[in-house]
A and B are shown apart, each in its own frame.
Chain A
């Protein structure tokens, strides 16, 4: 049971990183990114490509970050010519194109078969210690990401992001370069997502295109919306809550005597139903955005 809880906690931390990354884009800069999963995928494929070429994990994380920054730059470039809603659709399209590319190009990282056998980050440690060390790393990464996001968004830079989100014309009239602000935000968010992907790849020990389906993006969106868009703590709480709810769906299934194939459907219902309920009854999420004065959370 302890190992199961450690596994759930690791996944919650990794999704927490993704949720923080998306929250920085959507909650603060107003960038409606529907291609978030591909930034995560850059991290996983960085690890997979480095492993395939017998390069170490340092090369893996470096590759993942470089890929993610390139994709983020491409997203930002698209944003110069497209309105916010069209840009959101374009990011979804780019993410799907890259997923299909990863699925069909075997030379890249095994194509549809993916890459297996990626070593655990703490594989040489005995059984209870390895996962615990991974959990420690994930918690440290999450705290570092939270601190970074907090520092960024409580500074003048954060004020500029919120201004760009609420009043882009006013932001430009105060001399802010909106295109540069968007690019910087996307790049910071891309690094966070790639870090999550890299650790995920070394934890699950397998990377494949099935991990990049767009439903993953909408799961991260649900975490941000349920937790509270525009609040870092809310984004983390949303991720932890959703992950633990997901983990306990099989127990509910057993208690109700439902067949196993209902588990996936129950999880989807949980995402869709939760999202809908919060959009209707509590749009600000569990921990709302702090408006005015100094921010906490």
Chain B
């Protein structure tokens, strides 16, 4: 479904942030991209989406090179849905209006049918569809963002840190919703995440980036079980270090 082939990318005249990345994601699987701050996770996702144009290599979706296809074209042709990192629902609009924003270019009949489907799938939103989005909790707002991206029935869903700023309980709720989308639709989902343990809990496969390169890739379950991986990239407990006397005592 998505194939990233030897992609190099960066901003302006700066150095390459991505230095020859290869990544694959198939339909019906969640692929998560992990790594420390500044490793290029978000740049890779923006490159896949089309916000950043690759300097070299290619991004393919459904076998076609889409490196130069503008973001709005991919969205309008139902190829891709994208949920940015920031809190991106419109507080002053109702839940229904927020969702409909994602479908404003679709014919009215199709738009209404899709809206009804979504309301059936997300009863928590259906019960609040006339309320302003400002009345929703953080988790509900994120699910509203997901619903807005899903209304156009994209074949690929890209999520930039969907759990950013959420409490552990809400985070769990959002990841459960992402897993449910995969199971129900067979969609190809690519996420970038800081909360590695939560993300690996629902992902099928993962790529761990370091300094713009893929350092580790594999099945999510295998990565979770690997102690070296946990220590190096997932913030696992460091090995116990022998205790030393204070500086003053040494002197």
Residue positions of A touching B, CB distance < 8 A: 83, 156, 167, 169-170, 172-179, 292-293
Contacts and interface: CB of A to CB of B under 8 A. Distances in A.
A169 B45 CA distance: 12
Given A169-B51, A173-B149, A178 B72 contact: yes
B82, B91, B149: residue with the most chain A Cβ atoms closer than 10 Å: B82
Contacts of B101: 174
Contacts of A173: 49, 71, 75, 81-84, 149
A170 B86 contact: yes
Contacts of A179: 70
B104 interface: yes
B72, B84, B102: residue with the most chain A Cβ atoms closer than 10 Å: B72
B70 A177 contact: yes
A128 B136 CA distance: 63
A167 B86 CA distance: 9
Which 9 pairs between the two chains have the least Cβ-Cβ distance?
A: A173-B82, A175-B75, A172-B71, A292-B92, A177-B72, A170-B88, A175-B76, A175-B72, A169-B84
Nearest to B71: A172
Given A156-B104, A177-B70, A178-B72, A172 B88 contact: no
A41 B83 CA distance: 43
A85 to B, nearest CB: 11
Interface in B199-226: none
B75 A174 contact: yes
Nearest to A172: B71
A147 B152 CA distance: 34
Nearest to A179: B70
Nearest to B160: A169
B72 A172 contact: yes
A174 B102 contact: yes
B105 interface: yes
Given A175-B72, A175-B105, 9 more contacts: A167-B86, A170-B88, A172-B82, A173-B82, A173-B149, A174-B75, A175-B76, A175-B102, A178-B72
B79 to A, nearest CB: 11
Contacts of A174: 75, 101-102, 104, 148
B104 A175 contact: yes
Nearest to B152: A175
A174 B70 CA distance: 12
A170 B152 CA distance: 15
A241 to B, nearest CB: 31
A2 to B, nearest CB: 47
9 contacts: A167-B84, A167-B86, A172-B71, A173-B82, A173-B149, A174-B102, A175-B72, A178-B72, A293-B92
